[in-house]
Amino acid sequence: MDLTVLFNLSYGLYVIGAKDGNNTPVGCIVNTVFQITNEPNRVAVSVNHENYTAACIQNLNEFTVSILTEQTDPAVIGTFGFKSSRDINKYESTPYTLIDRDLPVLTENTAGWLRCKVENKVDVGTHMLFIAEVIETGRGSGLPPMTYDYYHKVIKGAAPKSAPTYRAPETEQTPEAASGEKWICKICGYEFAGDFEALPDDWVCPICKQPKSAFYKA
């Protein structure tokens, strides 16, 4: 079976927001938010069991979706996609607001947000599939939403291993890398093409904020 055919399915990038038992806002990145019916407006979201946010949604039965755009700061993806809300409050470094003074949504460079009430949960093994009704929406900046393809090809970011669509980093040659070196972040898979040695010592990965030492030469 040719699994690369699956790479042709398209996805977006979203921050799923919730809160834990201490009322601390939690969140994580997913690429699977699908509208599955319009009467009522209903979406399905797949979240890895290992994500703290999945456990919080299980208790809360509500969550928000912040729709990321092509202008989303890569640091947001680094924080929400490659760190855990068990360890840090991800919202301390990211502009956000609490919808109805309750659940967090991001406020910078988003295409809008949804507030969703869980109707059904399906344990699909590594992931929990939440089926939820959209009960409130908010407009964003009007910027184009980030597709997973754009994130992969333009930002050159990778999926964390917890993503349903995780694929091992590729070693394909990009045009700018063909004439020079390519360095890859071992944490998030971000590819740097160019003079890596010339970067300042305090340079960090634009996606996950790891230091230069986290990169290897491809």
The site for Fe ion (CB under 5 A) is made up of: 185, 187-188, 190, 205, 207-208, 210
Cα separation, 91 vs 81, in Å, equals 13
- The CB-of-207 to Fe ion minimum distance in angstroms stands at 5
DSSP state letter for 180: S
Cβ distance to Fe ion smaller for residue 17 or 189:
189
Q: Counting beta carbons within 10 angstroms of the beta carbon of residue 22, is it exposed (0 to 12), middle (13 to 18) or buried (19 or more)?
A: exposed
Cβ distance to Fe ion smaller for residue 151 or 190:
190
Strand spans (E) along 39-109: 41-48, 62-68, 96-99, 103-106
Cβ distance to Fe ion smaller for residue 12 or 157:
157
- The CB-of-67 to Fe ion minimum distance in angstroms stands at 23
- The CB-of-182 to Fe ion minimum distance in angstroms stands at 14
- The CB-of-157 to Fe ion minimum distance in angstroms stands at 8
Strand spans (E) along 69-168: 96-99, 103-106, 110-123, 127-139
Dig out the tokens for 155 from the structure: 């930002």
Cβ distance to Fe ion smaller for residue 114 or 185:
185
Residue labelled with tokens 């993503």: 163
**129 forms bridges with which residues in the sheet?**
46, 122
Cβ distance to Fe ion smaller for residue 122 or 154:
154
- The CB-of-163 to Fe ion minimum distance in angstroms stands at 15
Cis check: omega of the bond before 40, within 30 degrees of 0: yes
Contact between 91 and 85 (Cβ < 8 Å):
no
Cβ distance to Fe ion smaller for residue 117 or 212:
212
DSSP state letter for 156: -
**SS3 label, residue 119:** strand
- The CB-of-179 to Fe ion minimum distance in angstroms stands at 23
